[in-house]
Chains A and B, each alone.
Chain A
Amino acid sequence: MTDIALSMQDRTNPRFNRGSRLVDTVSRAGLLIAILAVVLYGALASPVFFTTGNLVNVLTSMAIVGIVVVGMTFVLVVGGLADLSVPATIACGAILSLALQPMIGPVPAFVLAVALAGACGLVNGLLVGYVGINPIIATLGVGTIVLGIVQAAVGGVIVYGTDPATAALVKSRVLGIPTIALIFLAIALIGNFVLSRSFWGRWTIATGGNYSAAEASAVPVRAVKAGAFIITALCSGLSGALLGLTLQSARPLVGTGYEFSAITAVVVGGVSIMGGFGSVPRAIAGLVFVQLLTNVMVLQGVRTPVQGFILGLLIAIAVALDVALRKRGVA
């Protein structure tokens, strides 16, 4: 909950300074209210909701998407629209970290898988930052290529883990908290530090806010833009590798849907799709909301397609709201 408290601090943003009091309140605390409402509804509607087992489940699934969300925040803030190669980089992380285990051992396999995912991000970054290709097209294309190569590398089949010890390590708990959630927490803290406290984060926000102005004030805009895609790829590679180790199996389509979950979380958290504004805690608040909502829907027996439908609507509404609030704030 400290995350949300943090996100409440950026009151200096011009976006929240004008407009009516009601709009002001809703845009500032809307997400917090929404999260509380979902928690309240979940608690009343389902006896399972507040059990430790369920909350740990939510935490675990949140951790896997959450690591991607941290990276995706950078892409959105830098004005890179979205990274659609996430499913491919997740598959890359998951498949390689399992497939390479017998050959080079679990730890090098893990590192290599994440590094190779990062290399995919480098390609994305070069195409978007230096060649200047539309990010969606670039990441869509690169994602297709990477997924194809990964599938070809393992022959298009499911890969199984060979080292149960690593699975036990990933699935273990520290003081009742899943290790994977602690890893997510660490990534989120690092991401938050980089985005809101470091020079790189200042550059990222400046580049997303006004590309030409940032370029004129000697910000290495191309490198910053490319960096955001590398960060996302590293994050999703890490998330994929953890996912692979948890499941001890990986199929090529293991990452499908994660790009939408991540984009939904970031956008619902109020990070602007136009770039130049946003923070990691904000994105994580969005993630908490989406994950709790999904969890309540699952507990209530809402079918998967309907969940997808609702999440799609959420993205559309959140982005439309963002545009509307922006207009109010600037005009």
Chain B
Amino acid sequence: MALLSQIARYRVALILGLTLIVASLLVPGFLSLTTLGLGLDRSSTIGIIAIGLTVLLIAGQIDLSGGAVFALAGIVSIQLQPSLGLWPAACVGVLTGAAAGALNGILSVGFKVNSLVATLATMLIFRSIAHWITASQPVSGTDIMFSLALAKIYFDIFTVRSALFLAAILLLHFWLTRTVSGRNLFAVGSNAIAAEASGISSGKMVFLGFVFASTLAGVAGVLQSLATNTGSPMFGSELTVSVIAAVVVGGTRLEGGRGSALGTLGGVLTIASLTTAMEFQSVPAYVQQVVAGLILILLVVLDRTVRTTARANTRAAVSA
């Protein structure tokens, strides 16, 4: 049982290692720096959203509207370019994300609507707004050179995006493990009432969690739109499953109170290497979806069974 719990503990590293080994055996040239760099750049989209979702899941809530916010923020940042210029437009895009998060937070914390349903509704709302303001057409930006600059690879492996993602993961790790507010987040997630009783304002914390998650979805959307010089209402429609899968692979519990930044990093890299490997082998998109869905379900089931066994053990130990 000790072995099993050790495996459960370091399963992110194990899964990532196995994925990398299998991928490098099956896909020729998978381990070249260029492939890894590209994979990392691609994964940073999922990764940045996953950072926000990690925080929210630890606080015991969920956000399904990430993909829609991703599209909306990107569109805003592109459409405002002619009138505001590139940087201010990007900032407004990110602020759109924050505003979306505030709406989610108001619904969940203020009106006490179950966060799943609230974000399901706002997902519909945000996606509709994205279709509305673009008339369902992709929009393109003014400065194509900027997207080239954003896609440039430094030191053979980093792009601006992936560097940003890795830096954000480190910051998140520091915040979650070394600061008081980070620890409070876990307290809110495992027992909101107890946290409230010990002087933590859990409502405020959850609200800020929603704002944080949507802001990061906005950042990812703006970066994606700038990198492709396009904003489209269709962007991010298949992101929800991948992002949740990435976070859950990373060992963050859906019911709140458990999770880590490094786990999320592992989860994102696993999903990314899987996607890259499958794309190199020209596996059709729908098969990739099946794989992403299977991973999600398998890991949640695994998490469930391992955790209940562990709990049953402690209970047995206490009674003995």
Contact = CB atoms under 8 A, between A and B. Distances in A.
Contacts of A274: 114
B301 A82 contact: no
A263 B117 CA distance: 9
Interface string B125-163: 101111110001000000000000000000000000000
A301 interface: no
Interface stretch (B34-42, B105-113, B181-189): B105-113
> Considering residues B107, B125, B285, which has the most beta carbons from chain A within 10 angstroms of its beta carbon?
B125
A138 B305 CA distance: 15
B301 A133 contact: yes
Interface stretch (A42-50, A103-111, A233-241, A312-320): A312-320
Contacts of A263: 117, 120
Interface in A231-276: 252, 260, 263, 267, 273-274
Contact of A312 (B128, B240, B244, B285): B128
B300 interface: yes
Contact of B117 (A137, A144, A306, A315): A315
Given A309-B125, A323-B113, A145 B304 contact: no
Interface in A50-94: 81-82
26 contacts: A81-B116, A82-B117, A127-B297, A134-B254, A137-B248, A137-B254, A140-B241, A141-B296, A141-B300, A142-B293, A148-B287, A151-B284, A152-B286, A152-B290, A156-B284, A252-B286, A263-B120, A308-B125, A308-B128, A308-B131, A309-B129, A312-B125, A315-B120, A316-B125, A319-B117, A319-B121
A273 B284 CA distance: 37
Given A137-B254, A144-B289, A319 B118 contact: yes
A323 B111 CA distance: 8
A127 B286 contact: no
A319 to B, nearest CB: 5
A8 interface: no
Contacts of A312: 121-125, 128
Contacts of A306: 128, 132
B301 A308 contact: no
A136 B293 contact: no
Contacts of B244: 137, 140
Given A81-B117, A144-B241, A152 B287 contact: yes
B113 A140 contact: no
B172 interface: no
A132 interface: yes
A305 interface: yes
B182 to A, nearest CB: 24
A82 B125 contact: no
Nearest to A322: B113
Interface range for B = 35 or more
Contacts of B124: 260, 308-309, 311-312, 315
Contact of A303 (B132, B241, B288): B132
Given A305-B136, A316-B107, A145 B131 contact: no
A131 B297 CA distance: 11
Contacts of B290: 144-145, 148-149, 152
Q: Closest 9 CB pairs between A and B?
A: A148-B290, A308-B128, A144-B293, A312-B124, A312-B125, A305-B131, A145-B293, A151-B286, A305-B132
Interface in B272-320: 284-290, 292-294, 296-297, 300-301, 304-305
Contact of B127 (A148, A156, A308): A308
Contact of B125 (A145, A313, A319): A313
Interface in B179-237: none
A138 B300 contact: yes
Contacts of A17: none
> Considering residues A141, A148, A324, which has the most beta carbons from chain B within 10 angstroms of its beta carbon?
A141
Interface in A147-196: 147-149, 151-152, 156
Given A305-B130, A313-B121, 7 more contacts: A144-B241, A148-B288, A263-B117, A305-B132, A308-B124, A312-B128, A315-B121
Contacts of B125: 308-309, 312-313, 316
A320 B240 contact: no
B282 to A, nearest CB: 13
A136 B128 contact: no
Contacts of B98: none
Nearest to B292: A144
Interface string B38-72: 00000000000000000000000010100000000
A136 B116 contact: yes
Contacts of B248: 137
A274 B112 CA distance: 12
A142 B296 CA distance: 9
Nearest to A263: B120
Contacts of A300: none
A316 B289 contact: no
Contacts of B120: 82, 260, 263, 315
A164 to B, nearest CB: 29
A273 B114 contact: yes
Contacts of B121: 312-313, 315-316, 319
